[in-house]
Amino acid sequence: MNEQSLSVRDAILQRRSIKVFNGQPVERDTLMNILDDAKWAPNHGARQPWRLVVACGKELSELHTVLLEFGVAKWKELSEEDLAKQMKKFTTPGAYAFMIVPEDARQKERLEDYAAASTYIQNAQLLAWDLGIGSCWKTPGFLDTPKFREALGVQQGERIISMLQFGYFDEMPKPKPRKEVEEFVSFFGTN
């Protein structure tokens, strides 16, 4: 465990979505500890409606092949150099976690499950950040492709809601502006 843990507030304010990773692998034990701790996310009825498909270490090469097929348009037509540039966004993260949730036919439960899985993802991102590991929550269109779902072992009645990339990075992105609290909060009875 990182001895210089950030406060919750510092982790929230300092965390950035990292899109440029340096290629250093994330150790399996480190990733599993992050994912284990993230399970303390609030969830309705204690359903814990999440399932993750993870790749780090030896699984990354096989995952890269799948991501090439679904994530790079017309990749067979690209030069080797252009293909390497296109694949960099997939090959430099040191680990992946695909978040899968049940597609409950009941709207209320489906929304609750999505919200719970989203809080799990935020927990994982903050825990990783505390260890100096960046992350980025992505939702590329190919997540719903039947053959991609099959490659990940996603069952009927489940949905992939995120491709979460983890990895180390060399440059800290600048923070993007946020709205002032007065722009999105109103007090009951005043609107």
Predicted pLDDT of residue 135: 98
Q: Could you give the CA distance from residue 154 to residue 150 in angstroms, rounded to a whole number?
A: 6
Q: What does the pLDDT average to over 58-87?
A: 92
What pLDDT digit, counting tens, does each position of 11-54 carry? Answer: 999 999 999 999 999 999 999 999 999 999 999 999 999 999 99
What pLDDT digit, counting tens, does each position of 99-152 carry? Answer: 999 999 999 999 999 999 999 999 999 999 999 999 999 999 999 999 999 999
H helical segments located in the chain:
8-14, 28-38, 59-71, 80-91, 107-130, 146-152
Q: Is the pLDDT reported for residue 191 higher than 70?
A: no
Is residue 154 a contact partner of residue 160, using CB atoms and an 8 Å limit?
yes
Predicted pLDDT of residue 96: 98
Q: What does the pLDDT average to over 85-97?
A: 96
Give the confidence band of 190 by pLDDT, cuts at 50, 70, 90.
confident
What pLDDT digit, counting tens, does each position of 6-17 carry? Answer: 899 999 999 999
Predicted pLDDT of residue 168: 98
Phi, psi of 135 (to 5 degrees): -155, 160
Could you tell me the CATH superfamily of domain 8-169? Answer: NADH Oxidase (3.40.109.10)
Predicted pLDDT of residue 74: 87
Helix, strand, coil shares, percent, the chain, to 5: 45, 15, 40
Q: Is the pLDDT reported for residue 1 higher than 60?
A: no
Residue 66's alpha-carbon distances to 57, 70, 91, in angstroms, are 16, 6, 12
